[in-house]
Structure 1
């Protein structure tokens, strides 16, 4: 007796999870939540590759540079990792209550029979807190770290409130 391909497919469909012919490892455990999680991960993966621009795109890459904002007594201090730049590469603007920090650099190297081009871009915009003295904002760049100091006005420094017993 010979078995047709259609019969083999039907037999595979009827095979109970946990048997040797079962092909889905998520269902062999009998946990539907794992199958659902697998489907969600598959959907996320597919969404990433269809909706997110390619990493090798010629358009501006949306790189997320690490940064930190500290609320110190006298000022807000922003520290951003931006390796590979020079101080002259940065442009920092205050546009109303928006602080825009950006830098661009590109380098072209030509050696015997070889040419290479590298480019990097840094961009971050944020709303500054109220009570910042805009005229005293300053910035430094050392060892790959951009630091922007936003001095507080007297009103922004606050005051201590004693607790009476």
Structure 2
């Protein structure tokens, strides 16, 4: 099996097969590898090893790797953006207007999108201040202050341990 080892073996499997060859002698083909013993040595399940054996012990990429996922709002995001810019922020009203032009998604999808857009607009002009030093009961805490023109200042205190 020495010629097969250069064929993109996973390092753990290659090492385990090499150890098995030392113990049992060299394998003439991949079909002679005992999957139960290989599973014990590598910690991989036999079903995973069966799949890898079928592929010549080469790791293959997922079939959808590199493909862009389609989102249900892809064709409607410009309409929804226009509604939000005109001041319509009620998700039910937005959903009804989108359904009138063929949108098949749910209200929770519209709510999620409107929330993200609203937060994005709020944080566009936000300023974050970090203050360090002694604070409540002598603990070393980091105080974070967020200031934006659209909402009043928000402060949070995070403990440093």
Quickly name the TM-score band, shorter chain normalised. Answer: under 0.3
Q: TM-score, normalised by structure 2?
A: 0.24
Q: Which structure would you say has the larger RCO, counting Cα contacts within 8 Å and 6 or more residues apart?
A: 1
More helix by share: 2
Give me the TM-score of the superposition, normalised by structure 1.
0.24
Between structures 1 and 2, the one with greater strand share? 1
